[in-house]
């Protein structure tokens, strides 16, 4: 008897066991880093809006001045050593994890067009054979209107890339990653 595998049967639990144990990096910028300090709260949800409790999220970002913590930073001014610019966290039983960081600055894109402040995201999860990539933008940023990458996303899907302020916790932002379904997050082929 042959049947279609369910999302929880496709890859199995080994991703969570092998990649997330003791490898979390949730403080991306310490208190000594200049910029607007934020807490980014992410959730990973499946096609039924159920939490994915064994996913992992990786984030890369520029500092508040738009410089990456990398010697090949496109601005030529790498972020200071105290700014990590990288985070990794496993989701909990609610499909959630959080990062303490700073709001990134604008970075140059193709043809030197400036990109809106954003975070680059990789999601690893059961049912996903290769990591999937997306971005997180901020709801109140006027630069979103001119961001060249966001402009490539169909208008009705752009909201899936927007983090919103947490009304209950000032300085915190909420971002949901929907792996499938009618609320599916826009993912990028990189």
Rounded distance between C-alpha atoms, residue 114 and residue 37, angstroms: 22
Q: What is the pTM of this model?
A: 0.86
> To 10 degrees, the CA torsion angle through 79, 80, 82, 87?
10
High-pLDDT (> 70) share of the chain, %: 82
The pLDDT score that the predictor gives to residue 1 is 45
Domains, the chain, in order of start with CATH, read 7-178 (2.60.130.10)
- In 3D space, the residue among 58, 42, 47 whose CA is nearest the CA of residue 10 turns out to be 47
Rounded distance between C-alpha atoms, residue 19 and residue 156, angstroms: 34
Phi-psi region of 103 (alpha: psi -120 to 50; beta: other; left: phi over 0): beta
Token digits of residue 183: 């609320």
The pLDDT score that the predictor gives to residue 71 is 62
Within a 10 A sphere around the Cβ of 123, how many other Cβ atoms? 21
Within a 10 A sphere around the Cβ of 107, how many other Cβ atoms? 20
Interval 34-85: pLDDT, tens: 899 999 999 999 999 999 999 999 999 999 988 887 666 666 666 666 788 8
């Amino acid at each position: 008897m042959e049947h279609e595998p369910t999302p929880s049967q496709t890859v199995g639990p080994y991703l969570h066991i092998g990649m997330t144990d003791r490898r979390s990096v949730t403080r991306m910028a310490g208190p000594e880093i200049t910029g607007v300090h934020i807490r980014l709260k992410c959730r990973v949800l499946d096609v039924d809006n159920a939490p994915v409790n064994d996913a992992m999220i990786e984030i890369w970002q520029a500092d508040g001045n738009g410089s990456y913590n990398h010697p090949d930073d496109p601005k030529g001014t790498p972020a200071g050593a105290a700014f990590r610019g990288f985070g990794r966290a496993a989701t909990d039983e609610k499909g959630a994890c959080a990062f303490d960081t700073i709001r990134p600055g604008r970075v140059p894109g193709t043809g030197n067009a400036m990109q809106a402040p954003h975070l680059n995201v990789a999601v690893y999860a059961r049912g996903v054979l290769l990591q999937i990539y997306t971005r997180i933008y901020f709801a109140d940023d006027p630069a979103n209107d001119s961001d060249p990458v966001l402009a490539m996303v169909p208008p009705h899907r752009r909201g899936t890339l927007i983090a919103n302020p947490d009304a209950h916790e000032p300085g915190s932002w909420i971002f949901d990653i929907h792996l499938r379904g009618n609320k599916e997050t826009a993912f990028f082929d990189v």
